Structure 1
């Protein structure tokens, strides 16, 4: 039961983030600008998040897919941390929520 709840929460969080990137919402634009990354990356980053979210949900049918998706999201958020630190950003509360849910999902899937 706990695995299912954590997995769904992580899938919802990353799914919402994916949609915000894919529709060109102002928040991800500001994040990319702050990290000095090109806005042209928005669709790619949104696609990665969407794939991770869908992969987590697919893990209910094919468990190893959920594990791989969770591992991919952990890697994505580790790289997001690097992007934050590279520009001196210490505003990591949002990052910590996403990273924490991805790590919890990965641990529970192992």
Structure 2
């Protein structure tokens, strides 16, 4: 079970770390999503910082389990907010969102299931 937890945590961390970097450098995809969802571009760096915090907190949870669980819970809340933003503008293309949401949910579930 620990191997599964390790793989899911590292995959989630890398994926969200890449998303944070995309927000920080002003990549076209996060900018186009922000425009489509009505999110001000000035929010891109703070949102990237939240993603980066989650991406760094997940592997830290391998040393301090509570940090990993809190990071995963924070990412779950972040992506629930993203879902609300999509639904608010009637954008139902949720394929990428579902990947970004399911991985932190799995990380949180596996973190809570670990017999620390």
TM-score, normalised relative to structure 2: 0.94
For 1:23 and 1:61, the matched residues in 2 are separated by 30
Other-structure match for 1:61:
63
Other-structure match for 1:21:
23
For 2:92 and 2:25, the matched residues in 1 are separated by 26
Stretches (4+) displaced over 2 A: none
C-alpha displacement of 1:75: 0.2
Unaligned runs of 5+ in 1: none
Other-structure match for 1:45:
47
For 1:91 and 1:22, the matched residues in 2 are separated by 24
C-alpha displacement of 1:61: 1.0
Unaligned runs of 5+ in 2: none
For 1:56 and 1:99, the matched residues in 2 are separated by 14
The count of corresponding residues between Structure 1 and Structure 2 is 110
TM-score, normalised relative to structure 1: 0.99
**Residue of 107, 110, 115 corresponding to 1:108:** 110
Q: CA RMSD in A?
A: 0.4
